[in-house]
């Protein structure tokens, strides 16, 4: 919960190759992290819940009034569409849940497919999703990727559901959460960074605050975010006012020649949707690191691989790794490694040991017994060093 407070929200993605995205974000920051901890916070304690912030995200339940704009907008859209068009099935699903408790799409006999987002989908699944998006139902739990829904009034306190925050303050909160999570966002960046926050400039007839530009100006005027310049990087970046001390500490460490945080550099494998990696242009300009998550890129067009993670060593992005948790064989498989130009993983002091520790952390997280390393000739010296340390 301390990490969630620091980042504001965690982006959720259901793909589980090396671990789910939010689990990898937490694994990179919490010693000994286990996925069961977050599942308990979501589905038992309900200190977190799923909603839309930057894509589907996990946010503190206490902040529900500041995120219900996603429910309200979806409710208006579905009221005029799918809820009206499929009213009998909507009523049937709600009655089943009222009478019998939580429900999954597989608990109801399938109905004819309807057009739904990316592809035709069984009506039951589509309408349960719509009811969840509209805040009529909530996610009671997941079993793998199967979602179980229940009435929101059974999942959240009545007082919290009754609390209302106006749309302006909700958008203000959501925009601040993006600056909070990333730490060095600027005025622009690729569109997915700003999902759910409207257009950069208000449309004719809209209130003046209904644009990211106006909301950002409010955050600057209120002192919530502070513009800064990064040496060698074009354009302003913004830091939360409450985190300026972190910037001061970093400057002091550099001046004294200390390692980041005063500790020897360690290694972590960054999640593909880790806030650290949101702004791909900043990664290129600040770290000279070009990262593309190629999971949706056709195989023949991939430069690296299907589920490849950046490797952070201290304060440097030094390469990429493609790990896969293979529970059937009980192993963490490293399919391949790629190093940045000029980086020698064998000759760099402390890197092999830090990398091995990161592998062991990932192995324990995955609940497997062995680590299998790539056999490519180019990796042999480094793999030999890592195997010795693993042994």
- Total-model pTM: 0.93
127's tokens? 């309408």
Residues in CB range of 299: below 8 A, 6 or more apart? 306
- H or E stretch including 320? strand 316-326
Half-sphere exposure of 232 (CA within 13 A, CB side): 7
Residue 350 contacts residue 389 (beta carbons within 8 Å):
no
pLDDT of residue 113: 84
Alpha helix (H) residue ranges in the chain: 2-7, 21-27, 35-43, 64-67, 69-79, 82-85, 87-100, 123-133, 152-155, 158-162, 167-182, 212-222, 244-256, 280-287, 351-366, 380-390
For every residue of 12-58, DSSP letters joined together read: -----SSS-HHHHHHHTTSTT--HHHHHHHHHTS-SEEEEEESEEEE
Per-residue pLDDT, 284:
94
Using 70 as the pLDDT threshold, list the residues of the chain that sit under it. 208
Residue 56 has a pLDDT of 94
What is the model's pLDDT at position 157? 96
pLDDT tens profile 208-244:
677 899 999 999 999 999 999 998 898 999 999 999 9
């Amino acid at each position: 919960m301390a990490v969630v407070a620091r980042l504001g929200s965690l982006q959720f993605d259901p793909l589980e190759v090396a671990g789910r995205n939010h689990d990898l974000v937490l694994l990179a920051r919490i010693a000994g992290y286990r996925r069961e901890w977050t599942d308990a916070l979501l589905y038992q304690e309900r200190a977190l819940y799923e909603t839309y912030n930057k894509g589907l995200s996990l946010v503190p339940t206490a902040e529900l009034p500041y995120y219900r704009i996603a429910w309200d907008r979806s409710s208006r859209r579905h009221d005029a569409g799918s809820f009206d068009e499929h009213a009998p099935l909507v009523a049937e699903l709600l009655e089943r849940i009222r009478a019998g408790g939580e429900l999954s799409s597989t608990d109801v006999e399938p109905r004819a497919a309807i057009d739904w987002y990316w592809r035709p989908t069984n009506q039951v699944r589509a309408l349960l999703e719509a009811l969840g998006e509209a805040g009529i139902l909530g996610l009671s739990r997941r079993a793998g990727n199967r979602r179980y829904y229940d009435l929101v009034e059974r999942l959240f306190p009545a007082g919290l559901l009754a609390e209302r925050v106006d749309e302006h303050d909700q958008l203000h909160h959501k925009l601040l959460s993006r600056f909070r999570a990333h730490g060095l966002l600027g005025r622009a960046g690729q569109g997915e960074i700003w999902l759910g926050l409207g257009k950069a400039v208000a449309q004719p007839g809209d209130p003046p605050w209904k644009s990211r530009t106006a909301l950002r100006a409010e955050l600057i005027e209120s002192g919530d975010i502070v513009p800064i310049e990064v040496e060698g990087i074009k354009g302003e970046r913004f830091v939360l006012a409450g985190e300026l001390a972190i910037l001061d500490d970093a400057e002091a460490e550099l001046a004294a020649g200390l390692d980041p945080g005063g500790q020897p550099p360690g290694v972590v494998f960054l999640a593909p949707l880790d806030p650290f990696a949101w702004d791909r242009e900043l990664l290129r300009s600040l770290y000279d690191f070009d990262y593309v998550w190629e999971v949706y890129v056709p195989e023949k067009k991939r430069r690296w691989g299907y589920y490849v993670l950046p490797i952070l060593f201290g304060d440097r992005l030094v390469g990429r790794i493609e790990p896969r948790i293979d529970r059937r064989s009980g192993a963490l498989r490293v399919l391949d490694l790629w190093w940045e130009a000029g980086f020698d993983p064998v000759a760099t002091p402390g890197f092999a040991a830090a990398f091995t520790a990161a592998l062991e952390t990932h192995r324990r997280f995955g609940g497997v017994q062995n680590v299998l390393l790539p056999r490519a000739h180019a990796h042999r010296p480094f793999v030999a060093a890592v195997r010795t340390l693993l042994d």
